[in-house]
């Protein structure tokens, strides 16, 4: 295949470029095309959001499947047949690096083709399937919010059509990234699955393109951040973790209805429920995150354990009161201690869970009801004055209705 390069200076090629180039002219095809006045070309891109699932709270990971589709104009490809699959093997094309991918991430080349031979418009697509690192703020767990963030970066990364040659640019940049401008090239964010993510509820997606300052080594990096904004479905943790603890606490109150001088029966009862509590914690421990701070559930676990311990200590004290002051005084203090323990336990649970629960409800309302100024292709006018929680300033946020 041979391509006539008429008026090479107008096409952004050197004046001394040869008149014709065949597909085997590697030195010609491997370089990046130039924009006007030698400026970096624009790469327009979009995402196909195919799936996000398996959010692992314990491991801090998530499974994602998505496509990145890139469009650019290469004047060298003007006149190349659009249905011709045999592009020059060393034809230059842009790529992006998935920064927070873990070792088993699959990166598949899906498309590399000419979409408009009249202008030299090109298209390239990559499919990413695998697990990403997903650190989470678990202070309010299980009423927490999360942004499942997928971080791409490029230092003008590129690879050839045959995939055998590639790299990045040591200094400066050969292209810049931006959201697609033409509707015929697709939708900025194409959500192609139901949006269900296991124990999390998806409310929207945000995107951000940041051109970083030139590094000390002279490299120009562009970061592309795509985030799924979710809140946790807490019902599982109530039934699996909290309800057993509440039942154990309630049953342990039967200790206060034994005779105050029957220390053996009281200690035996408290010991039984303490063992049951530790057995429950062992069973549910695999479902709880390992953190260096106490989550809300951890706090309730500690509080329940302390309550059971308090009941055992109270039995010892009441036995002493019964011996020294009589059964009536011991019975009165027995009632006071039971009422005080129930009151403190219930109020403490409200104090622990009500604020994060209300915070989550408010956040869900903000995430689902956010109104963008514009959702058209290529739009950049968006109101950032009241972005929803977990959405970083400078991002564009789209609710599920927008998508």
pLDDT band at 337 (very low <50, low <70, confident <90, very high): very high
Residues 224, 340, single domain; the answer is no
State what percent of residues in the chain have pLDDT above 70: 89
Kindly report the CATH number assigned to the domain that includes residue 309.
1.20.58.390
Task: Kindly tell me if the per-residue pLDDT of 131 is higher than 80.
Answer: yes
Q: How do residues 20-73 score in pLDDT, each as one tens digit?
A: 567 668 889 999 998 888 899 999 999 999 999 999 888 889 999 999 999 999
Q: How do residues 286-309 score in pLDDT, each as one tens digit?
A: 777 777 778 888 888 889 989 999
The more confidently predicted of residues 83 and 135 is: 135
Burial 238-249 (b: 16+ CB within 10 A, else e): eeebbebbbebb
pLDDT band at 376 (very low <50, low <70, confident <90, very high): very low
The residue range of the domain holding 296 is: 236-363
Whether residue 11 is contained in a domain is answered as no
Q: How do residues 58-75 score in pLDDT, each as one tens digit?
A: 888 999 999 999 999 999
Q: Exposed (0-12), middle (13-18) or buried (19+): which is 199, by Cβ within 10 Å? A: middle
Whether residue 300 is contained in a domain is answered as yes
Q: Which two tokens stand for residue 77?
A: 């490809």
Residues 339, 374, single domain; the answer is no
Residue 169's alpha-carbon distances to 31, 220, 221, 288, in angstroms, are 11, 8, 10, 44
pLDDT band at 379 (very low <50, low <70, confident <90, very high): very low
Q: Which two tokens stand for residue 300?
A: 């309730």
Predicted structure pTM score: 0.83
> From CA 148, how far away is CA 280, in angstroms rounded?
30
Helix%, strand%, coil% for the chain, nearest 5: 35, 30, 35
Whether residue 2 is contained in a domain is answered as no
Residues 209, 82, single domain; the answer is yes
Whether residue 335 is contained in a domain is answered as yes
pLDDT band at 18 (very low <50, low <70, confident <90, very high): very low
pLDDT band at 276 (very low <50, low <70, confident <90, very high): confident
Kindly report the CATH number assigned to the domain that includes residue 221.
2.70.170.10
Task: Kindly tell me if the per-residue pLDDT of 237 is higher than 60.
Answer: yes
The whole-number pLDDT of residue 20 equals: 53
CA 365, 400, 378, 129 dihedral sign is positive
Residues 214, 310, single domain; the answer is no
User: Alpha helices of 101-255 — where are they, by DSSP H?
Assistant: 235-237, 243-252
Residues 189, 254, single domain; the answer is no
pLDDT band at 372 (very low <50, low <70, confident <90, very high): low
Give the residue carrying structure tokens 């230092």: 155
Residue 391's alpha-carbon distances to 208, 219, 227, 230, 244, in angstroms, are 10, 28, 8, 11, 36
Torsion region of 374: left, alpha or beta (phi above 0 gives left; psi -120 to 50 gives alpha): beta
Mean pLDDT of the region 303-330 = 92
Report whether 198 contacts 54 (CB < 8 A).
Answer: yes
How many domains does the structure of the chain reveal? 2
Residue 267's alpha-carbon distances to 29, 248, 276, 365, in angstroms, are 84, 15, 14, 49
The more confidently predicted of residues 139 and 67 is: 67
Residues 322, 383, single domain; the answer is no
Task: Kindly tell me if the per-residue pLDDT of 12 is higher than 50.
Answer: no
Query: Residues with Cβ < 8 Å from 92, sequence gap 6 or more?
Result: 29, 30, 31, 32, 33, 74, 158, 160
Residues 375, 343, single domain; the answer is no
Residues 124, 201, single domain; the answer is yes
Whether residue 63 is contained in a domain is answered as yes
Residues 203, 351, single domain; the answer is no
Whether residue 323 is contained in a domain is answered as yes
Residues 327, 200, single domain; the answer is no
Residues 190, 51, single domain; the answer is yes
Residues 176, 297, single domain; the answer is no
**Residue 183: how many other CB atoms lie within 10 Å:** 10
CA atoms within 13 A on the CB side of 200: 24
Whether residue 10 is contained in a domain is answered as no
Task: Kindly tell me if the per-residue pLDDT of 363 is higher than 70.
Answer: yes
SS3 track for 258-286: CCCCCHHHHHHHHHHHHHHHHHHHHHHHH
Q: In what order do the strands lie in the sheet with 92-94?
A: 92-94, 158-160, 166-167
Nearest CA among 390, 303, 378 for reference residue 348: 303
Whether residue 331 is contained in a domain is answered as yes
pLDDT band at 2 (very low <50, low <70, confident <90, very high): very low
């Amino acid at each position: 295949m041979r391509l006539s390069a008429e008026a090479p200076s107008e096409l952004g090629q050197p004046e001394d470029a040869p008149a014709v180039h065949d597909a085997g002219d590697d030195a010609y095809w491997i370089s990046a095309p130039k924009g006007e006045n030698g400026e970096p070309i624009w790469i327009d891109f979009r995402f196909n959001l195919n799936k996000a699932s398996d959010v692992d709270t314990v491991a801090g990971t998530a499974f994602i499947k998505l496509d990145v589709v890139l469009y650019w104009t290469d004047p060298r490809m003007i006149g190349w047949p659009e249905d011709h699959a045999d592009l020059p093997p060393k034809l230059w094309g842009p790529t992006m690096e998935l920064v927070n991918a873990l070792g088993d991430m699959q990166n598949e080349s899906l498309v590399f083709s000419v979409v408009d031979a009249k202008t030299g418009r090109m298209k390239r697509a990559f499919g990413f399937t695998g697990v990403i690192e997903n650190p989470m703020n678990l202070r309010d767990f299980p009423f927490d919010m999360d942004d499942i963030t997928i971080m791409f970066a490029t230092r003008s990364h590129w690879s050839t059509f045959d995939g055998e040659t590639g790299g990045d640019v040591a200094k400066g940049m050969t292209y810049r990234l931006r959201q697609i401008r033409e509707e015929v090239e697709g939708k900025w964010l194409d959500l192609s699955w139901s949006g269900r993510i296991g124990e999390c509820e998806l409310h929207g997606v945000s995107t951000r393109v940041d051109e970083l300052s030139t590094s000390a080594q002279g490299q120009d990096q562009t970061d592309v951040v795509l985030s799924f904004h979710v809140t946790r479905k807490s019902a599982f943790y109530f039934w699996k973790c909290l309800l057993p603890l509440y039942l154990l606490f309630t049953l342990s109150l039967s200790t206060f209805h034994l005779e105050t001088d029957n220390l053996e029966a009281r200690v035996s009862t408290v010991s039984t429920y303490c063992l049951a509590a530790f057995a429950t914690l062992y069973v549910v421990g695999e479902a709880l995150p390992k953190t260096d701070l106490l989550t809300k559930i951890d706090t309730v676990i500690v509080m329940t354990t302390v309550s059971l311990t308090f009941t055992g200590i109270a039995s010892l004290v009441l036995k002493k009161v019964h011996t020294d002051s009589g059964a009536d005084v011991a019975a009165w203090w027995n009632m006071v201690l039971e009422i005080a323990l129930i009151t403190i336990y219930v109020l403490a649970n409200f104090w622990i869970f009500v604020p994060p629960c209300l915070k989550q409800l408010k956040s869900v309302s903000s995430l689902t009801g956010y109104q963008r100024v514009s959702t058209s292709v290529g739009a950049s006018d968006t109101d950032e004055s009241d972005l929803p929680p977990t959405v970083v300033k400078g991002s564009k946020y789209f609710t599920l209705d927008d998508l």
